[in-house]
Structure 1
């Protein structure tokens, strides 16, 4: 767990120790809030975010748990916070968010073998506070500020295609893939803060599955 409001501190919980506590590990090089994270080659990657002041970041750091060190890799081409970051097939993909002033539809990818970020096809819509997942070997950009729409990125053809829309606008939701479906949870607007929707690609449709007990905004989720 890394960063937060005006924080660069990082904590770790070893799940192999049933009664273990969270403990502090090496801090990131920069304070980061509303950053995005993913796993790249068994290392934790944290990209972008805000330093808690007026600065939006393009810098990216990798944490190596074996040696307990954070290392800066090449910066993104665009400063981003409230964006999405996913890892697929040994590469990082980041898309959407905000720079200092503007909503973003741009996307870029990092290949560690080349050591640099390169621009890819932009999304069809600007999305801030979106969710991003990899599903069926494609990347999904889900919702965002004022949006119900969802887009799917084909890595082979470098194209974005709109798919079925959510039932609610979702800003600050979280998403994961489990049992062959995408689940998106919470976020701002209407009843979205409690509801959970699931996407089935075989019918290209989102359905309300259930509600959480507590409204959720800016939460995180994983599938176990």
Structure 2
């Protein structure tokens, strides 16, 4: 079996029949739906990012969104009750237990209760009952 590493992120617009690409992002998290194609964190092979970018699907242009508090890659991300949550990952020196939430109403990231253990390559899953950190 051959392992394949993410080198780029691609999207396809069915109506326009166009593909767009983002080069240089690895091990990031992507959120869609009400947050309109956000890419959070990740790394470029040299540094780890806290940055967040949003794709305007009308113009296919990337716009900056408020950065996360902590730089991270290999983290979990999910939307829950209209907010974005990111958890765990790797920050370049350690594997944080920290969790952050972004509230689009005030446009800010804020820390919330940390996970019980450090997790990298974690999946964050939203259900009606809450958020669950799986694996990592």
The correspondence of residues 1-224 of structure 1 with structure 2, limited to 5 A, is 4-5=6-7, 7=8, 10-14=10-14, 23-25=18-20, 27-28=21-22, 31-41=24-34, 43-52=36-45, 54-144=46-136
Paired residues, number? 131
Q: Distance in 2 between matches of 1:67 and 1:137?
A: 37
Q: Distance in 2 between matches of 1:126 and 1:139?
A: 16
TM-score, length of structure 2 as denominator length: 0.86
Q: CA deviation at 1:40?
A: 4.9
Q: CA deviation at 1:63?
A: 1.2
**Runs in 1 of length 4+ with deviation above 6 angstroms?**
none
Q: CA deviation at 1:69?
A: 2.0
Conserved? CA contact 1:84–1:131, under 8 Å = yes
Q: CA deviation at 1:37?
A: 1.1
Q: CA deviation at 1:132?
A: 1.3
Conserved? CA contact 2:50–2:68, under 8 Å = yes
Q: How well do the aligned residues superpose, as a CA RMSD in angstroms?
A: 2.1
The higher relative CO (CA closer than 8 Å, separation ≥ 6) is in 2
Matched with 1:215 is none
Relative to structure 1, the CA distance from residue 42 to residue 101 in structure 2 (aligned partners, 3 Å threshold; closer, same or farther) is closer
Larger radius of gyration: 1
Q: Distance in 2 between matches of 1:92 and 1:63?
A: 16
Which secondary structure state, in structure 2, belongs to the residue aligned with residue 41 of structure 1?
Answer: helix
Q: CA deviation at 1:121?
A: 0.4
Structure 2 portions without partners, runs of 5+: 1-5
TM-score, length of structure 1 as denominator length: 0.54
Matched with 1:158 is none
Relative to structure 1, the CA distance from residue 117 to residue 24 in structure 2 (aligned partners, 3 Å threshold; closer, same or farther) is same
Structure 1 portions without partners, runs of 5+: 145-224
